[in-house]
């Protein structure tokens, strides 16, 4: 991580730039570093980019869910006195953004989703078979991306450590199951904020038809596609992703 992490009021987050606020939300197996290049470009384009570390492994088990993370986001945004925020969420982070928007529509100016859960996603199942098999975890991590080289050894090591920690795997599975159960198709038509859907054409976790469905259900949405790209466009094509975000933000 090359940018400074702020530690304040019990939170850890990145805070870059000045201007209208864009809050980035990482995925279930994600981290602040997922957005590094993208965050810098968007901040340099005249936005204040804030990336909180979501407490995926810190919440009490009974509150470890997509809704629980949304309640964390409510407190985070309130404690930082933020308003008129744009939420940009990847994977589970998109789902958290959607729940927050449903419950706090007056605080959300714009919504940006990339590889978001909330409608449909392919999970690893109810468990991680062969989770002690490093090569198996490496292969599963690579499958998230179009280009397997994006899954660096550091990233694979992080995933391997997480799925082999009892504390972490219990919470990973609890959140994954909560996200699958919590379908938001009926809620989306009421979200009238400008929405930007940014999707990898080769996403195997939330396939392209999921992006089409988000585009159909969100009444004020734009759809951007990324070729040769899997579940995390901001990692595989950070510059193109950031430029698309800036282009859309400037129009909306």
List the domain boundaries for the chain.
6-121+183-251
Q: Are 24 and 112 in contact (CB under 8 A)?
A: no
How confident is the model over 77-85, as a mean pLDDT?
Answer: 95
CB atoms closer than 10 angstroms to residue 65: 21
Nearest to 244 by CA among 215, 214, 223: 223
Residues comprising the chain, all counted? 252
How confident is the model over 106-123, as a mean pLDDT?
Answer: 89
Return the CATH architecture of domain 6-121+183-251.
3-Layer(aba) Sandwich (3.40)
Counting residues of the chain whose pLDDT is more than 90, the rounded percentage is: 62
Counting residues of the chain whose pLDDT is more than 70, the rounded percentage is: 95
Note the pLDDT tens digit of each residue in 36-73. 889 999 999 999 999 999 998 888 888 888 899 999 99
Residue 122 pLDDT grade (very low, low, confident, very high; cuts 50, 70, 90): low
| Four-point Cα dihedral 76, 79, 80, 85, nearest 10 | 60
- CA distances to 72, 92, 172 from 52, rounded to whole Å, are 10, 14, 18
Nearest to 77 by CA among 68, 87, 67: 87
Which runs of consecutive H residues, i.e. helices, occur in the chain?
36-44, 66-79, 92-103, 134-142, 153-163, 166-181, 208-217, 233-236, 238-251
Q: Is 133 helix (H, G, I), strand (E, B) or coil?
A: coil
Note the pLDDT tens digit of each residue in 170-229. 888 888 888 778 899 999 999 999 999 999 999 999 999 999 999 999 999 999 999 999
Report the C-alpha gap between 143 and 202 in whole angstroms: 10
Does 125 score more than 50 pLDDT? no
């Amino acid at each position: 991580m090359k940018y400074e992490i702020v530690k304040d009021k019990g939170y850890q987050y990145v805070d870059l730039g000045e201007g209208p606020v864009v809050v980035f939300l990482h995925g279930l197996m994600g981290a602040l570093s997922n957005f590094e290049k993208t965050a810098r470009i968007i901040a340099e384009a005249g936005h204040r980019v804030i990336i909180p570390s979501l407490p995926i492994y810190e919440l009490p088990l009974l509150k470890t869910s997509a809704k629980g993370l949304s309640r964390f986001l409510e407190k985070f945004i309130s404690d930082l006195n933020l308003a008129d925020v744009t939420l940009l969420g990847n994977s589970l982070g998109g789902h958290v953004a959607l729940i927050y928007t449903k419950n706090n529509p007056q605080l959300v100016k714009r919504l940006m989703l990339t590889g978001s859960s909330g409608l449909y996603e392919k999970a690893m199942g109810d468990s991680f078979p062969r989770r002690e098999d490093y090569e198996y975890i490496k292969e599963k991590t690579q499958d998230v991306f179009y280009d397997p080289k994006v899954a660096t050894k550091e990233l694979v090591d992080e995933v391997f450590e997480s799925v082999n920690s009892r504390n972490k795997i219990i919470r990973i599975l609890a959140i994954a199951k909560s996200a699958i159960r919590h379908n938001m198709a009926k809620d989306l038509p009421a979200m009238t904020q400008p929405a930007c859907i940014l999707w990898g054409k080769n996403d195997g976790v939330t396939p392209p038809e999921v992006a089409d469905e988000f585009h159909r259900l969100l009444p004020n949405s734009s759809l951007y596609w990324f070729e040769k790209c899997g579940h995390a466009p901001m990692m595989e094509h950070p510059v193109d992703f950031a430029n698309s975000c800036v282009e859309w933000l400037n129009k909306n």
